[in-house]
Amino acid sequence: MPSGPALEVVDLVKAYGSRRAVDGLSMHVPAGSVVALLGPNGAGKTTTIEICEGFRRPDAGKVRVLGRDPVADATELRPRVGVMLQDGVGGYTGATTVELLRLFASYAADPHDPHLLLEVVGLTEAAGTAVKRLSGGQQQRLSLALALVGRPELVFLDEPTAGMDPQSRHGTWDLIRSLRADGVSVVLTTHLLDEAEQLADDVVVIDQGRVVAQGSPAELTRSGAEGQIRFRAIAGLPLDQLVDVLPLGSTALEPEPGRYLITGDVTPELLATLTAWCAHQQVLAQDLSVERRTLEDVFLELTGRELRT
């Protein structure tokens, strides 16, 4: 087990022509944690992770993987790091599933049993199937198995559940949780909010090659406006009067006639003030719901854009 961080990235820069795909990105992955790089397509997640895997060289900045340089120390790192690429099995289409997994196991000093691992990723039935005949979701699961077969200390998973059906996705999430329970460090990229929220100890929100926010899902959704309240009532309530009695920083909108949205620091006091104001107006607030902010709301506030672009 490494004593230092699993991954350290400082001021990373990578340009393709005049475009900076990664633009001064820094992040830190404590050993044994799961960190998700979350961002829309083109944000720079794959470029960042491929530099950390030693497949691309940065233009500037520092990367340390298990305390080592991913390019200069590639030979030493190879058995300690598992890599799941976006198109991970594309080059091995002639072999069968189990043959490919055995091949990867043969490179490791203490590999997992290939058949057991196929069971874990739900590919037992497809063990004898040629890789090129696997569905997209099955290829993803094989790619995950290939990344894990050598018992790595750190794994990089690039969009691990892309193209998977919901059942496989949840199975993969369970597998990632069990990796963490075994002390394995995991760095994954995703543009799925629930994936980041479900799995990650820390989320690094990336947009246009930069980190725009970083923290646990709870920390990220707590900062700034805490939440929102929705309710239905008769149309045309005098919302300017409502805003006057709500805490500073709250907003009140009627996006559609008779439907109301209150945003701000949603405390019990704010809720009491709102319902008291409705009572004073002799209005019954119906279907009132207090909603938590999601990472999607956070992303929208930080960048002005939806996560899925």
Q: Per CB under 6 A, does 160 bind ligand ATP?
A: no
Q: Per CB under 6 A, does 139 bind ligand ATP?
A: no
Relative to beta strand 210-215, strand 19-29 is unpaired
Exposure string (b/e) for 8-21, b if CB count within 10 Å is 16 or more? bbeebbbeeeeebb
In sequence order, what are the residues at sequence separation of 6 or more whose Cβ sits closer than 8 angstroms to the Cβ of residue 18?
none
Q: Per CB under 6 A, does 47 bind ligand ATP?
A: yes
In total, the chain counts a number of residues equal to 309
Q: Per CB under 6 A, does 84 bind ligand ATP?
A: no
Q: Per CB under 6 A, does 41 bind ligand ATP?
A: yes
Please give the DSSP secondary-structure letter assigned to residue 37.
E
Q: Per CB under 6 A, does 39 bind ligand ATP?
A: yes
Relative to beta strand 251-256, strand 185-190 is unpaired
Return the residue matching tokens 């190879």. 78
Residue 50 beta carbon to ligand ATP: minimum distance, rounded to whole angstroms: 8
Q: Per CB under 6 A, does 164 bind ligand ATP?
A: no
At residue 100, the 3 state secondary structure works out as helix
**Of residues 33, 46, 96, 138, which one binds ligand ATP by CB under 6 A?**
46
At residue 13, the 3 state secondary structure works out as strand
Q: Per CB under 6 A, does 16 bind ligand ATP?
A: yes
Q: Per CB under 6 A, does 45 bind ligand ATP?
A: yes
**Nearest Cα residue to 114 out of 154, 146, 155:** 146
Listed ranges 44-52, 98-106, 166-174, 217-225: which one lies at the site for ligand ATP (CB under 6 A): 44-52
Q: Which is nearer to ligand ATP, 21 or 285 (CB)?
A: 21
* Beta bridge mates, 231: 260
At residue 111, the 3 state secondary structure works out as coil
Residue 230 beta carbon to ligand ATP: minimum distance, rounded to whole angstroms: 32
In this structure, how many other beta carbons lie within 10 angstroms of the beta carbon of residue 186? 25
CA distances to 5, 235, 255 from 278, in Å: 53, 13, 18
Listed ranges 4-12, 40-48, 167-175, 246-254: which one lies at the site for ligand ATP (CB under 6 A): 40-48
Q: Per CB under 6 A, does 293 bind ligand ATP?
A: no
Contact mark string toward ligand ATP, 189..218, x via CB under 6 A: --x---------------------------
Q: Which is nearer to ligand ATP, 49 or 242 (CB)?
A: 49
Q: Per CB under 6 A, does 43 bind ligand ATP?
A: yes
- Interacting residue ranges for ligand ATP, rule: CB under 6 A: 16, 21, 39, 41-47, 191
